[in-house]
Amino acid sequence: MSIKPFIKLMQRGQLTAFTGINALFKPFYRLTYLAALKQGGLMDMLAQRPMAFDELTQSYGQSDKAREALEAWLQLGLRLGYLARNGDAYSLRGLAKKLSLPHNDAALALAQEVAGLHHRLILQTPEKLAGGTFWQLADQDGTLIARSSRTLEAFQTEAIDRYFPASGAAKLLEIGCGSGFYIQYGLSRNPAMTAVGLEMQADVAAAARRNIDEWQLQQRVTIEHGDIRHRAAEAQFDIATLYNNIYYFPVPDRVAALQHVRQCLRPGGFLLLTTCCQGGNPGMEVLNLWGAATETGGRLPGVGELVDQLHQAGYQDIQTTRLIPGDGFYAFKASAPA
């Protein structure tokens, strides 16, 4: 092999650019392939058992051209290390096999979110801004976000363990209830607690209702579809929660929204709010971009800024806890006046 082409690239000042960009390709391909395995249905199929190529063509096309394309797609999976082949049978391998396990679904959903929404968000936002448009809430897959948000589950439940009462009657209002998992978790700790889950996206609310039925909590939980700002502010709740969704409210509207939530609390009740804040890891910066570039949302808050907004909204005894050491994920507990 001649090194002359490399010398020419170096002399032209192109070698480091080519080698630098080349280093980015494989991680991008690997992440995208993981998301595609799930999205296209192959991960669920191969998680059950190895499947022969002819079996796979029954679902992915039987024409000569389709077989050629499928074989090329599977070959890429072999090269990336996510598929294995024994004879004519394909199976999952490595990280793909781990992510196919039910208890790793949140991590898989996050891979899908990054390869899909985050990719489009980074790629298309400048074009949208140049055209005078913004992202819409409907541009995200609500059920996918509900799944991926559980990657923070260990830290989120730590906040619930810290602040929720473990006994005694209490009524919870969970704003942006997602899958309903955190309602289930809170109620599992306190048998006397009841809850209302409020969800802005209809399909996510429907999924939460199905989960509540499956968990046999329908006697203790009601799931509503709607916006907290349009719900009557009746002081009937002991606890209100806003988990990872303050950025769904524009910055100028946050004090009014927090005040409205306070009016839903009984005297002495409290709000538990968790959120990524300014200055977090690159994933949080993408979340900051999503909030800022979404027409109905806003950027991530600063810690001190959010404390000030809670004070302006009439809360007292505000406590701030960093939930992930060294990173920007925080819990805020704020009490309604007694």
Contact 210, 221 (CB under 8 A): no
- pLDDT digit string, tens, across residues 221-256: 999 999 999 999 999 999 999 999 999 999 999 999
Asked if 301 and 275 count as a contact pair (C-beta separation under 8 A), the reply is yes
| pLDDT tens-place string over residues 38-95 | 999 999 999 999 999 999 999 998 899 999 999 999 999 999 999 999 999 999 999 9
What secondary structure letter does DSSP report for 301? P
Proportion of the chain above pLDDT 70, given as a percent: 99
Q: For tokens 């192959």, what's the residue?
A: 42
For the cut 90, the answer to whether the pLDDT of residue 13 exceeds it is no
Asked whether residue 9 carries a pLDDT value surpassing 70, the answer given is no
Does position 260 have pLDDT exceeding 90, yes or no?
yes
Residues in contact with 151: Cβ distance below 8 Å, sequence separation at least 6, in sequence order: 106, 107, 109, 110
pLDDT at 4: 77
Region 310-331 average pLDDT = 96
**141 Cβ neighbours under 8 A, 6+ residues apart:** 113, 116, 117
Helix or strand holding residue 331 (H, E): strand 329-335
**In sequence order, which residues have a C-beta less than 8 Å from that of residue 225 and are 6 or more positions away?**
198, 199, 200, 201, 202, 205, 206
pLDDT tens digits, residue range 276-285?
A: 999 999 999 9
Q: Is 85 exposed, middle or buried (0-12, 13-18, 19+ CB in 10 A)?
A: middle
Element (H, E) at 225: strand 221-225
CB 247 within 8 A of CB 329: no
Average pLDDT, the chain: 94
Domains in the chain, please, with CATH? 4-100 (1.10.10.10), 142-335 (3.40.50.150)
Are 141 and 117 a contacting pair, CB within 8 Å?
yes
Residue type, position 71, single letter = E
Neighbours of 75 (CB within 10 A): 12
Residue 11, pLDDT above cutoff 90: no
pLDDT attached to residue 185: 96
- Answer yes or no: are the C-beta atoms of 313 and 307 closer than 8 Å: no
Q: What is the pLDDT of residue 2?
A: 78
| pTM metric for this prediction | 0.89
Q: β-pairing, 237-243 with 170-175?
A: parallel
